[in-house]
Amino acid sequence: MNNNSKVLALKYRPQTFDDLIGQEVVAETITNSIKADKIPNAYLFTGIRGIGKTTIARIVAKALNCSKGIEKICRENFCENCQSIINSSHIDVLEMDAASKTGVDDVRDLIEFSRYGPTSAKYKIFIIDEVHMLSKQAFNALLKTLEEPPEYLKFIFATTEIKKIPITVVSRCQRFDLSRIKSSELFEFIKKIKDKENGKVTDDALRLIVKISEGSVRDALSLLDRALLSLEENRDLDLNAAQKIFGYFDKSQLIDLFELILKGEETKVINIYRKIYDQGVEPKVFINDFLELLYYFKNINSLTLESTNFSLNDEEFSKIKSISNKVESGVLVLFWQFAISSLEELDIVSNQHLSIEMFLIRLMHLQSVKSQKKIEPETEKRATNEIENMSSNKIIDQIKNISQEEKKKPQVQTEIKAENKILINSFDELLLICSEKKEIKLKYELEKNVNLVKFEKNRIEISFNDSLDKDFVKDLSSKLFDWTDERWIITFSKSKGEMSVKEKQLNNKKLLIDQAKSSEAYKNIIENFPDAELIDVKIKKDEGQND
């Protein structure tokens, strides 16, 4: 393949330890161990995608097998061994993708192949990529060979998910955790590549590429490749063009939106968000960027422009610093909790765009309550605890409008409704009211598909099974408001909670049947009628009352 026709990630793939960026400690440690002839049986490289795991594995293979030795390892004019490893054609260096060969038979073939010494190199080397994909049986088959391999055999493993590898395997390897590439290093690296490719890309656009790539060299080069291909002749790719290509929006828009939220300018806030949405920005991306902005507002006084990972320019940094001095820390913490809760809501709503708009409106109502200073300290503390609890338990509905709680209803209307107001103080009372009100479907859901975790005044915490009706929360909240003239909060909990009513009934029935089977009367019946089967037990009322 013509080198110029390769994608940038392959064209500029490091071929020696000197070409690597951001992994100097790893390179130095491996080089020193080879020079000292203290080579481990197996290397294990772990880290996020695109930071050089497989690349380093190949460089290690070249360092072990270079014809010139580690002291004079090939850097330009590669020897036959190094060139074959670069081309993935060396007979003694076998690369295997564990994602496609996961079974124990594949590993057994590998072990069988390892019994024969190297043909043309010093070491026979097995490079296994995404090693965490191997089956449990495959790992077990590998253990003995991994612990005591022949002197000529070396293993090199690469993985993105170290936790999925058995500890028995990890303990037999020399492990290296590869770090994300620092923003400044990655920026300088892709800038050099851009210059070599004669690309016309501004520094701001390159910084955006660095931010999106999240420390991954391969991602950064792929994005740069895409940017260069999008260039029009005799035109520079600036930040605005890059944002359109990669689906990102100008952070200054988000800062303006945040400032308007604090002022309660609802119409302007919604208009700015809709412009951002029209640019092709996904709701989840918007929320994540909003969270990042909240972090900067909260910690801006302890940050520098460089530490923001190229997310902000000078003007944006200064503007955030100016606005942050006017915002209470408590407001930012509450905003953070609301944003996390809304992020989770996006997975269960059909129109995510509308959910984001409601999220922004909620923030403005919250801010208006804070700014009016009508909330006592104890009420504010309760509101904060309430929001934190909603986030941890993944509340998906019934976010209470704090400002509405402060409004007083007309006295006459309150007196009229008080006459029909129903008090519900327990889950059993709720079931009884459902029966009285002929809400059979609602009662069925409560009895069969709901596990009670906690029942408090105007608040019910539950877990549920997969059969729960999708409109359950909406129906229950509506009925509770109609019956009690008060708003209730329904939250979903990670805790299992009590058994459902139906489960309790079935459990009690089973206990009664077991008790009856141990009675003499049952034994006498079975002796005379061996095919008889006890399917239910009825208890007399007086016995039931004493039980």
> For the range 375-380, what are the long-range contacts, defined as Cβ-Cβ under 8 Å and sequence gap of 24 or more?
375/402, 375/406, 380/330
Average pLDDT over residues 262-283: 86
Predicted local confidence at residue 394, as pLDDT: 40
Predicted local confidence at residue 420, as pLDDT: 64
Q: Give the confidence band of 312 by pLDDT, cuts at 50, 70, 90.
A: low
The residue among 60 and 475 whose pLDDT is bigger is 60
Average pLDDT over residues 93-116: 86
**CATH architecture group of domain 3-177:** 3-Layer(aba) Sandwich (3.40)
Q: What is the CATH number of domain 183-246?
A: 1.10.8.60
Residue 496 burial by Cβ neighbours in a 10 Å radius (0-12, 13-18, 19+): exposed
User: Which residues have CB under 8 Å from 101's CB, separation 6+?
Assistant: none
Q: Please report the sign of the dihedral spanned by the C-alpha atoms of residue 189, residue 195, residue 201, residue 204.
A: positive
Average pLDDT over residues 489-494: 81
The predicted-structure confidence for 353-381, as pLDDT tens digits, reads as follows 888 999 999 888 876 555 544 444 444 44
With left for phi above 0 and alpha for psi between -120 and 50, is residue 233 left, alpha or beta?
beta
Predicted local confidence at residue 249, as pLDDT: 65
Name which of 260, 249, 331, 325 is nearest 287 in CA terms: 249
The most confident of the ranges 110-124, 244-258, 386-400 is 110-124
Domain extents in the chain: 3-177, 183-246, 275-406, 411-492, 501-546
Average pLDDT over residues 456-467: 84
- Please state the pTM of the whole predicted model: 0.57
Predicted local confidence at residue 377, as pLDDT: 46
- Domains 3-177 and 183-246 belong to one CATH topology: no
What is residue 435's three-state secondary structure? helix
| Mean pLDDT across the chain | 81
Average pLDDT over residues 200-218: 87
The predicted-structure confidence for 163-196, as pLDDT tens digits, reads as follows 999 999 999 999 999 988 888 889 999 999 999 9
Q: Give the confidence band of 5 by pLDDT, cuts at 50, 70, 90.
A: low
What is the residue-wise DSSP string for 230-273? HPPTT--B-HHHHHHHHT---HHHHHHHHHHHHHT-HHHHHHHH
Average pLDDT over residues 117-143: 90
The predicted-structure confidence for 392-434, as pLDDT tens digits, reads as follows 444 334 334 433 444 444 444 444 444 567 888 898 888 888 8
